């Protein structure tokens, strides 16, 4: 968890690590391609990525949503510009996929364990609908939920964090719930 009020990361089993400041967006990932996750934040106020142990990368502008995109076995900074539904992926491509109000969520669908390029995906919070490039759209979620993409065990690529309860809901064909966090936390 990243607590935006104090710029501190709380990592289950490791404790608290201070990296970031109020207003930063947490964006952890393997930015070196060496199999280690680095703590990273995107600072919307200046459009800059801060990656612990790597440095700073200016990439984005006011109003952009940061997206960590996997390419060539490492994370690279990317942004989704909700004003025009366009993805800007540093050193890779510019693609239009989504609309204003969508939440960008690239990933490997349907199974994150399978190597290959990530697909563009967006979650539309107004309807709880997921749109994934090359996959039929589907609805799962409710207002206030925070959608996530990753490997949530056994190749399950999507989850929702319900901040009002600190509840993680993992789509496994059915739904598996787990409480970890508290109201106001940002899941990563």
> Domains in the chain: how many in total?
2
CA 132 vs. chain centroid, Å, equals 14
Average pLDDT, the chain: 87
Sign of CA dihedral 98, 75, 187, 180: positive
Residue 120 and residue 88 share a domain: no
Q: Quick one: which of 100, 108, 93 has its CA closest to 126?
A: 100
Ranking 11-20, 23-32, 111-120 by mean pLDDT, the lowest is: 111-120
- Helices first, then strands: H and E counts in the chain: 0, 19
Among 96, 117, 140, where does a domain finish? 96
* Inter-residue long-range contacts of 58-67, CB under 8 Å, 24+ positions, other chains counted: 59/88, 59/90, 60/88, 64/88, 65/103, 65/104, 66/25, 66/27, 66/42, 67/104, 67/105, 67/106
Per-residue confidence (pLDDT) for residue 174, from 0 to 100: 63
**Per-residue confidence at 88, pLDDT binned at 50, 70, 90?**
very high
pLDDT(42) > 90: yes
Per-residue confidence (pLDDT) for residue 181, from 0 to 100: 80
Per-residue confidence (pLDDT) for residue 107, from 0 to 100: 86
137-170 pLDDT per residue, tens: 988 888 889 999 888 877 778 899 988 888 888 8
Q: What percent of the chain has pLDDT over 70?
A: 96
- Rounded average pLDDT over 92-113: 85
Rounded Cα gap, residues 133 and 136, in angstroms:
8
Among 64, 96, 128, where does a domain finish? 96
Residue 126 and residue 66 share a domain: no
Per-residue confidence (pLDDT) for residue 92, from 0 to 100: 83
Per-residue confidence (pLDDT) for residue 38, from 0 to 100: 94
> How buried is 64 (Cβ within 10 angstroms: 0-12 exposed, 13-18 middle, 19+ buried)?
buried
**Per-residue confidence at 173, pLDDT binned at 50, 70, 90?**
low
Residue 165 and residue 126 share a domain: yes
What string of DSSP letters covers 19-47? ---TT-EE--B-SSSSS-PBPEEEETTTT
**Per-residue confidence at 176, pLDDT binned at 50, 70, 90?**
low
Rounded Cα gap, residues 78 and 160, in angstroms:
22
Domain containing 12: what range? 1-96
- Rounded average pLDDT over 120-149: 89
Among 96, 121, 139, where does a domain finish? 96
Residue 187 and residue 124 share a domain: yes
């Amino acid at each position: 968890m990243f607590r935006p009020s104090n710029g501190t990361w709380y990592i289950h089993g490791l404790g608290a690590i201070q990296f970031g400041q109020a207003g930063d967006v947490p964006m952890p990932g393997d930015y070196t391609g060496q199999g280690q996750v680095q703590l990273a934040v995107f600072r919307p106020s200046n459009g800059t990525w801060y990656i612990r142990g790597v440095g700073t990368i200016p990439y984005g502008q006011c109003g952009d949503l940061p997206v960590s995109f996997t390419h060539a076995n490492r994370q690279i900074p990317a942004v989704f510009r909700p004003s025009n539904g366009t993805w800007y992926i540093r050193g890779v491509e510019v693609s239009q996929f989504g609309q204003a109000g969508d939440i960008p969520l690239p990933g490997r669908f349907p199974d994150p364990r399978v190597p290959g390029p990530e697909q563009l995906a967006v979650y539309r919070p107004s309807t709880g609908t997921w749109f994934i490039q090359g996959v039929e759209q589907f609805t799962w979620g409710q207002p206030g939920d925070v959608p996530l993409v990753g490997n949530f065990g056994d190749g399950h690529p999507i989850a929702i964090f319900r901040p009002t309860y600190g509840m993680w809901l993992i789509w496994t064909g059915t739904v598996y719930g787990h409480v970890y966090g508290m109201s106001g936390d940002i899941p990563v």
